[in-house]
Structure 1
Amino acid sequence: MKRLLHPLSPAPGMASSENYSDPSFSATVIAWQKQHGRHALPWQNTRDAYLIWLSEIMLQQTQVTAVLGYYARFLERFPTLRDLAAAPVEDVMAQWSGLGYYTRARNLHKCAQRVVAEYDGVFPSDPLLLAELPGIGRSTAAAISAFSSGTRAAIMDGNVKRVFARTFGIDAYPGEKKVEEAMWRRAEALLPETGIEAYTQGLMDFGATLCTRSSPDCGRCPLQPRCVAYATNRVKDLPVRKPKKTSPEKHAVMLVVIDNGQVLLEQRPATGIWGGLLSLPELDGHVLRDGSALPSVDDEQLARAILPFGEIESRTTLLPIVHVFTHYKLHIIPCRITLARRLSLAGEATHVWYDGSKIADAPLPAPIKKLLLELFGDAQAAQRSMF
């Protein structure tokens, strides 16, 4: 068995006697980051809190490769915090469309308005004040403050949890409250006295490039000599995964009503799935499935749903689409409809006829945008909408 430089860590939830301090750990991370870490990302090498904050919000539960394009386009549309705060929320949602987890976009807009109103457009440097703003939690606040102001504050995202779980042999699910609290105490004890920016970025880079979830590169990892998971052949087992639950499956019949080069769209409620975005009208919402067969579309029900918008000329059921949310899997049954006669939308505040030529820039959920782009013949844009 490989020799460890440090013994196994105390059990999670240990009392005040726990001693996690270890200056050599942060020194190793900082030295590695300066030589091998990432230094050319567009939100690096700056103290501009707006640029750093935007990147941290976009990177929540999203890979760097997926964020890069959105980040550049977002800043082109909203180059300053005040530009973002003054923009209609619909414009913000349109720029965010396809990036997912849309609550982030709504909170982004609210946060910008709060910072302008309460801090004259300047982000506070205190992580406690940052954490009070919409969409900014404890770890994100620490990262923003560390990178923009050099504040000595601990982060604890998924990458850090994975590095800690393996390095220190934490054999419990990191999402459990007592385990997470112990990880936070460890993170605070390990903070370096200097070099907080390189240390914070180094922890992120470790998890993103070396200590990855499925293919960790232990051979190049400078933490390998102290890594409990490596020494005990448990790299694949740590961190302990969340106990699996059966993911419910739902279906939704969506109406693709196309007339004269336009498609009928509906504004979704501000909260909930795809909150605040435009989408296709639905017959009954997202309904739990009973059995494996997809539901058939009832002609009478369909006619009643379309009645406020016109008379049906023909309808075709398109191939189903599967979209996976965090908490359930959605089977979308698109029903394409052409109209014999179209009625005015007078009094219909939640519906709009949208030009097919402008779908690429519409604030739509990714699977709906891809479907409509394909139907309107924009295959290249449909491919881009997937990422």
Structure 2
Amino acid sequence: MSLLHADATHASSPLFSTTLSLPDCDATGWVVVDSMVDGLAMGGTRMTRTVDAVELAALARAMTHKLALVDLPIGGAKAGIRPNGPVRDREHLMRTFGRVTRPLLHGGVYLGCDQGTTHPDRDMFFAAAGYDIATRPGATRLDVDWAEFWRSMVDITGFGVATAALGAIRASGARTPQRVVLQGFGTVGRGVAQHLAAHGHQIVAVADVLGTVEDPAGLPVDKLIECTSTDGTIDRSGLPTSVRVHDGDRAWLKVDSDVLVLAAGADAIDESVVSSVRAKIVVEGGNMSCTKPARRMLGEAGLTVLPDVVVNVGGAAVTGCIIAGVAPNGLNVPQMSAWLRDWIAGKINKNCELIAELSASGSAEPVAELLAQRNIAW
């Protein structure tokens, strides 16, 4: 591992942070780079009304951790856009963002999509920047353009989170379908629901910004997805009459379950609600889903906790494998998709096993130990 990577990730501040000028957009933007490895860094672009450089620094640090844990030679970064009001011309904003970040994109800082931005948004700002991941020197060569290839991998982060959950279920010795609660039903949550349901498990409750929908007999996942907008909001009017609707932003905590998948915003579980968690397996499918003290308290209570930097890595790993040339050349889209899924599942399963072993041996911070082995600060 390069010296720059070690130095940057042991520092208390990012490698660099820059404020973006976004002309005629009535928005503020930032790019924060936590570390670079061999001239590369990567992370998503978050667009919310509250994002700021401090939040992005924490997210960029988490990206450093994620990429290090899957042994990709890439540093962590994160971009943010904070609109000052309603976004009236989204295309103009995305194209402006692309033009402004062009030097960073071409200089080795890959910026994808994240909360509040979509794959079409990313395609727009890439086009404005004249950036194509597949033409970068050293990148894996694809037989289609990046936007088309990504359509075959749109569920990959949910796939990775579900892979971790399935491994924990097997390790628990469960022999019957498990009851799963999903907090968040965006792209990640929907992907998790599809993969867990395909393995015979019951999605008994799903939470979105409006509250929680529940069916103890199992929600109809395909119908639920049909009733869900791209931002993860469920249209209650299209659901079967057997579905119960609960208001409140933490109503999902009251639903009996075996597995809880957190796939929305940060700090969904903090110290104040640890005692309310009913599931024996908690999977951090989103970024920083639990506070660090809450994660420790859950572990001390005997729950299995799969941390975000281990399981929420699918999308980053796909991009990282292509940018760094880790994935083999010469594969068609189905072959490349299969190779990447196998590679990601292998990395996630191995890290979850190591986390379990360290936890069983009494480690209070198993992720910190895994990172220390790679000379990375937690």
TM-score category, normalised to shorter length: under 0.3
- Rg: which structure is higher? 1
Higher relative contact order (CA 8 A, sep 6+): 1
Q: Give TM-score scaled by structure 1 length.
A: 0.23
Task: Name the TM-score, length of structure 2 as normaliser.
Answer: 0.24
